[in-house]
Chain A
Amino acid sequence: TQDPALRGQSGPGSGPRLARTMLGQVVLPGEELLLPESAGPNAEGSAEQMLRLGSIVRPRARVVCGPGLRRCGDRLLVTKCGRLRHKEPGGGGGGGVYWVDSQQKRYVPVKGDHVIGIVTAKSGDLFKVDVGGSEPASLSYLAFEGATKRNRPNVQVGDLIYGQFVVANKDMEPEMVCIDSNGRANGMGVIGQDGLLFKVTLGLIRKLLAPECEIIQEIGKLYPLEIVFGMNGRIWVKARTIQQTLILANVLEACEHMTTEQRKQIFSRLSES
């Protein structure tokens, strides 16, 4: 009988497949993926074997399970639909990171994410900030740069806040702060007056925040502007006039579905007018 790991890319429902062969392809929730055996004495012998936890002590590459994947025994279980991606380990050991590039509009708070929130309530020492998740996050008034008990930050209900999460899990209410670990604001805090806040999908935000994103460079050449990206799908834009701000907002929303040529056309038309 054929070892299931060797079957590779057979038809659907034929058993778990190798993670390596599925890179860049669409995976659906419920699929199981096998990890290749790390470089060990048996690597050359049998092609890929399932990882056996707690078995012979062998140098085993540590594979990190990213968003959309979950460890299930010795395999990876897909929990979101999207494309499977892999990143080689940069420095030392490890087997790299596997994750699923999925698209969604609804945000789930994650620790360390920088988000834009709207202050909805002020109660004593705490602000309640709506970040688009299932619960409003709490923000202490001392979590601003230079804030003390006497020197309170000037935050009103309805203000926009750019901060990061320090506590974000499914069991507790999320908490955010506007300072980094050194106590400096580092760009976080209350976002200024005017401007426009609008919502896009999470995948678009990740694309725009990728290093050397063409869209951002081209937008920067169009008009002088201020822009803040929140990982919860919210973007705040401010340009010199309302007209320009609206144009920028509409262009960014449309970038989701535009191809490169269409985008370049639109930008060239805008820069002419």
Chain B
Amino acid sequence: MAGSWERLDGRQTYDYRNIRISFGADYGCCVVELGKTRVLGQVSCELVSPKLSRATEGILFFNLELSQMAAPAFEPGRQSDLLVKLNRLLERCLRNSKCIDTESLCVVAGEKVWQIRVDLHLLNHDGNIIDAASIAAIVALCHFRRPDVSVQGDEITLYALEERDPVPLSIHHMPICISFAFFQQGTYLLVDPSEREERVMDGLLVIAMNKHREICTIQSSGGIMLLQDQVLRCSKIAGVKVAEITELIQKALENDRRVRKEGGKFGFAESIANQRITAFKMEKAPVDTSDVEEKAEEIIAEADPPSEAVSKPVLWTPGTAQIGEGIESSWGDLEEEEEGDDGGSDEVTILDSVKMETEDQNVGNHMGDDTPIVLSDSEEDEIIILEPGENPKKTRVQANSQQGKVSSKKAIRKKKKQPAD
């Protein structure tokens, strides 16, 4: 990247990649795609006894896992450093910021509280795991519904999903992590680093903020020295980005809510975009038929009307008649063959189908079937008329003359003359 500084995917310094949020069929299940980085989040709940030190608060549990399919470097047992770092950051962002009201998770003080468990799985690693994971976590928490509970004296009634509608968690605000990558000792800054940019960066600054511009967590790693105004500038940028992302999240949640209420289809099958692999497809050459009708109409309108069929047949000999004079041969000057004229418009097909190289059968078929062809001595004669006497198959001739079919004669010099049978 010497000289002009460009990002590999064409983004600007402060640009985020496309964020796509899709929800599953269950409440609390979502997939967040930040460019090609994908994180799956799932929230579940359980009734447990509370911690002794916090008897009136529910329990939150966060867990991020790096699946082996995310990157070749992730093998079971080989990812510990990165994993610990990400998990710690996520916990600080979500737990210490008190975004979820844990007091509301209490059912019976000291005895039963809700334990909310957020499981995040990294499905594909293309950089900036922490941002995608924090978005997935907060979206899953906002989407989740826990079963309704009522307490009467000593009795706790846990309603099943069919009896009473599940209740959403009470969430105060939505903290979202924004990552900044620094290069060359803090000279250059990039927001939302991709995997290749992460590999060569000097240091990383993560700011977790909500849309009210409150910083929930801030962490700088990599050992770079950052100036005060750099950090302030980053926090301003983070404020802008968080506002955009929060709006996106709200829209996605609203869409999903609406679809479920209207009874439409929801779930991953609907919301995750279909990406078709075209590498194995044999493509057919597309034929553009969009304006075929207009073109055809134009051609038909501009074409001359077909010539009037002449109705008077001229009888040459018994068995041979001619209707019309025929039009000029439009085949041009053919060296070896001279095509005679067809008679009238009935025999248009013959002109098209009988070519120089076609078998004699074709010609034979049109010329009163298997009649031997007599070539006249005179070369100027274009029309040759068969004498009925030489025709061995009388029946066929009769059929011909009765139908009044024109047996068009062509003076075709054949290379091999096939005798009629």
* Residues on A facing B (Cβ under 8 Å): 82-83, 101, 103, 106, 132, 196, 198, 201, 203-204, 206-207, 242-243, 246, 249-250, 255-261
CB 8 Å contact bits of B259-302 with A (1 = contact, 0 = none):
00000000000000001111110010010000000000000000
* Residues on B facing A (Cβ under 8 Å): 1, 3-4, 6, 8-10, 72, 275-280, 283, 286
Say how far A194's CB is from chain B's closest CB, in angstroms: 9
User: Which residues of chain B are near A250, meaning CB under 8 Å?
Assistant: 9-10
> Is A207 touching B4 in the complex (CB atoms < 8 A)?
no
Partner of B278, one of A106, A249, A257: A257
A243 to B3, CA, bound (A): 12
Q: A242-B3, A242-B6, A250-B10 are in contact. Are A257 and B283 (CB under 8 A)?
A: no
User: Which residues of chain A are near B283, meaning CB under 8 Å?
Assistant: 260
User: Which residues of chain B are near A260, meaning CB under 8 Å?
Assistant: 278, 283, 286
User: Which residues of chain A are near B8, meaning CB under 8 Å?
Assistant: 196, 198, 246, 249
Say how far B277's CB is from chain A's closest CB, in angstroms: 6
A103 to B276, CA, bound (A): 12
Say how far A204's CB is from chain B's closest CB, in angstroms: 5
User: Which residues of chain B are near A204, meaning CB under 8 Å?
Assistant: 279
User: Which residues of chain B are near A257, meaning CB under 8 Å?
Assistant: 275-278
B1, B3, B277, B286 — which one has the most chain A CB atoms within 10 A of its CB? B277
> Is B10 touching A101 in the complex (CB atoms < 8 A)?
no
A257 to B280, CA, bound (A): 11
Q: 3 nearest interchain CB pairs?
A: A203-B279, A207-B279, A204-B279
Say how far B290's CB is from chain A's closest CB, in angstroms: 13
Q: 29 A-B residue contacts at CB 8 Å?
A: A83-B280, A103-B280, A106-B72, A132-B72, A201-B277, A203-B277, A203-B279, A203-B280, A204-B279, A242-B1, A242-B3, A242-B4, A242-B6, A243-B6, A246-B6, A246-B8, A249-B8, A250-B9, A255-B278, A256-B277, A256-B279, A257-B275, A257-B277, A257-B278, A258-B278, A259-B278, A260-B278, A260-B283, A261-B286
User: Which residues of chain A are near B280, meaning CB under 8 Å?
Assistant: 82-83, 101, 103, 203, 207
User: Which residues of chain B are near A198, meaning CB under 8 Å?
Assistant: 8
User: Which residues of chain B are near A258, meaning CB under 8 Å?
Assistant: 278
Closest to B276 in A: A257
User: Which residues of chain B are near A256, meaning CB under 8 Å?
Assistant: 277-279
Closest to A200 in B: B279
User: Which residues of chain B are near A249, meaning CB under 8 Å?
Assistant: 8
A203 to B280, CA, bound (A): 7
Closest to A132 in B: B72
Say how far A206's CB is from chain B's closest CB, in angstroms: 7
User: Which residues of chain B are near A206, meaning CB under 8 Å?
Assistant: 279
Say how far B362's CB is from chain A's closest CB, in angstroms: 35
> Is B4 touching A103 in the complex (CB atoms < 8 A)?
no
Partner of A103, one of B3, B6, B10, B277: B277
Closest to B8 in A: A246
Closest to A196 in B: B8
User: Which residues of chain A are near B9, meaning CB under 8 Å?
Assistant: 250
Closest to B124 in A: A105
B3, B6, B9, B280 — which one has the most chain A CB atoms within 10 A of its CB? B280
User: Which residues of chain A are near B72, meaning CB under 8 Å?
Assistant: 106, 132
A82, A132, A207 — which one has the most chain B CB atoms within 10 A of its CB? A207
User: Which residues of chain A are near B1, meaning CB under 8 Å?
Assistant: 242
User: Which residues of chain B are near A207, meaning CB under 8 Å?
Assistant: 279-280
Say how far B235's CB is from chain A's closest CB, in angstroms: 31
Partner of B279, one of A103, A242, A243, A261: A103
Closest to B7 in A: A246
Say how far A58's CB is from chain B's closest CB, in angstroms: 35
User: Which residues of chain A are near B277, meaning CB under 8 Å?
Assistant: 103, 201, 203, 256-257
A174 to B3, CA, bound (A): 39
User: Which residues of chain B are near A132, meaning CB under 8 Å?
Assistant: 72
Closest to A204 in B: B279
Say how far A138's CB is from chain B's closest CB, in angstroms: 19
Say how far A236's CB is from chain B's closest CB, in angstroms: 14
Say how far B131's CB is from chain A's closest CB, in angstroms: 22
Say how far B81's CB is from chain A's closest CB, in angstroms: 20
A243 to B7, CA, bound (A): 10
User: Which residues of chain A are near B286, meaning CB under 8 Å?
Assistant: 260-261
Say how far A44's CB is from chain B's closest CB, in angstroms: 32
Say how far A201's CB is from chain B's closest CB, in angstroms: 7
A231 to B104, CA, bound (A): 57
Say how far B200's CB is from chain A's closest CB, in angstroms: 13
Closest to B273 in A: A257
Closest to B196 in A: A198
Say how far A108's CB is from chain B's closest CB, in angstroms: 12
Closest to A82 in B: B280
User: Which residues of chain B are near A243, meaning CB under 8 Å?
Assistant: 4, 6
Closest to B274 in A: A257
> Is B278 touching A246 in the complex (CB atoms < 8 A)?
no
A207 to B9, CA, bound (A): 23
